Amino acid sequence: MKDSLQEQLLAEIDALTPQLFAIARHIYDHPEIKFEEFEAMRVLSSALEEAGFQVKRGVAGLPTAFVARAKGQPGGPAIGLLGEYDALPEIGHGCGHHLVGTIALGAALALRKVLSQLAGQVVYCGTPAEEMAGGGKITMAEAGVFDGLDAAMLVHPSTFGRTVMEANTLCGGRVIFTFRGKSAHAAVAPHLGINALDAVLLTYNNINALRQHLRPDVRIHGEITKGRRAYDAVSDLAEAVFNVQATDYAYRQETLQKVIRCAEAGALATGATLSMDVSPTFKEMRTNFTLARAFAEHCAAFGLEVEPADHSRLSETDMGNVSHIVPAIHPFVAIVPGSIQGHTSEFAAATISEKAMVGMIVATKLMALTALDFLTQPELRAQVKQEFGAERS
């Protein structure tokens, strides 16, 4: 039996549906890659501003990050609703982030309508650059953007056709190794050359030798991105990129240091010089199971079956960094028809189908109802906080 606030919230989302469809479609039609999401930020933040949210753009020194805040009665908790809106190069919205941004928008706009009846705040956090090792949330977390929140939620369309509450993510990030050598004629004067390509190949082989002695949860994968020269010229520039991942932050950092030594050994052996570019570290997601249960309880009413998490599926998200600061959830909701895998053109096309649009509204309702639970149930908040505290100690 729904109470009147829930009824009101759901009716507000129904009324918002045409606007949400239009915004999702607009972001889909204007795919912008990491840190270039100006159009997505414009439409999302102006919809919030028009609805009475106080908007700050360019937070944490990121031009396409923003925070929009609406306050109810004094006191009460602050619930963070996180939106993503970056696309992938070539593929466009192959991860469905136009839906992620719009789901949080719909939930925030609907909650704003009932907020005068409650104590607390609704905070929409516009988080850019989730893809391509951008880690917008990592920069925002380091700048303290999420510090005042009592909980944070991000709802993602399932990229594997099933509804699960737990995002199984690894802690990881990429490192680029650039080796500089000295070119020379490979036949006439090889002794004058320093072979940067050999430094990369040694690095690659050193890492392969290292693998046997790492924990089984570690993933190291990479590619050689530069190194080609004429076959009879010594390569003076070569580069490789690796992603180094593990299930926890401490072991991942330890492994990264070993991988760096593999590259240093390649440089030492060949005489090439090494420089490196280490991306921000995406921490592993710590799902708050109390809050996830509250979300899952609403799923049945919408005909969604919540399935157990598949621990063999491991990915990476900067929501992990948020989950180390505040209690957080990142449910995957099966709203895109079929079981098409994410990061493909097929998935991108499916995210804009009529079924996906209907699913987006369902996901918006799930997010809004869970946020309402959090705002109105002190006992739920206490349990969420207790679980978070127990995990940190």
Residues that bind Zn ion (CB under 5 A): 95
State in angstroms the smallest separation of the CB of 334 from Zn ion. 15
Closer residue to Zn ion, CB minimum distance, 47 or 95: 95
State in angstroms the smallest separation of the CB of 100 from Zn ion. 7
Under DSSP, the state recorded for 283 is P
Q: Which residues contact 165 (CB under 8 A, 6 or more apart)?
A: 287, 289, 292, 293, 295, 296, 306, 309, 329, 331
Closer residue to Zn ion, CB minimum distance, 327 or 342: 342
State in angstroms the smallest separation of the CB of 154 from Zn ion. 9
Residue 311: other Cβ atoms inside 10 A:
9
Closer residue to Zn ion, CB minimum distance, 95 or 325: 95
State in angstroms the smallest separation of the CB of 229 from Zn ion. 34
Q: Which residue is nearest to Zn ion (CB)?
A: 95
State in angstroms the smallest separation of the CB of 283 from Zn ion. 16
Closer residue to Zn ion, CB minimum distance, 177 or 347: 347
Whether the Cβ atoms of residue 140 and residue 60 lie closer than 8 Å to each other: yes
How buried is 94 (Cβ within 10 angstroms: 0-12 exposed, 13-18 middle, 19+ buried)? buried
Closer residue to Zn ion, CB minimum distance, 163 or 376: 163
Q: What's the CA gap between 369 and 3, in Å, rounded?
A: 11
The letter for the amino acid at 137 is K
Q: Look at residues 341, 319, 68 and name the one whose alpha carbon lies nearest to residue 171.
A: 319
State in angstroms the smallest separation of the CB of 339 from Zn ion. 16
Tell me how many helices (H) and strands (E) the chain has: 11, 12
State in angstroms the smallest separation of the CB of 97 from Zn ion. 6
State in angstroms the smallest separation of the CB of 137 from Zn ion. 12
Dihedral sign computed on CA atoms, order 144, 73, 118, 21: negative
Whether the Cβ atoms of residue 314 and residue 219 lie closer than 8 Å to each other: yes
Q: How far apart are the first and last CA of the chain?
A: 38
Closer residue to Zn ion, CB minimum distance, 95 or 384: 95
Three-class secondary structure of residue 388 per DSSP:
helix
Q: What's the CA gap between 141 and 144, in Å, rounded?
A: 5
Residue 179: its H or E element: strand 171-180
Closer residue to Zn ion, CB minimum distance, 72 or 134: 134
Closer residue to Zn ion, CB minimum distance, 83 or 106: 83
Strands 328-329 and 151-153: parallel
State in angstroms the smallest separation of the CB of 132 from Zn ion. 9
Q: What's the CA gap between 110 and 107, in Å, rounded?
A: 5
Q: What's the CA gap between 98 and 106, in Å, rounded?
A: 12
Residue 20: other Cβ atoms inside 10 A:
22
Closer residue to Zn ion, CB minimum distance, 72 or 331: 331
Residue 193: its H or E element: none
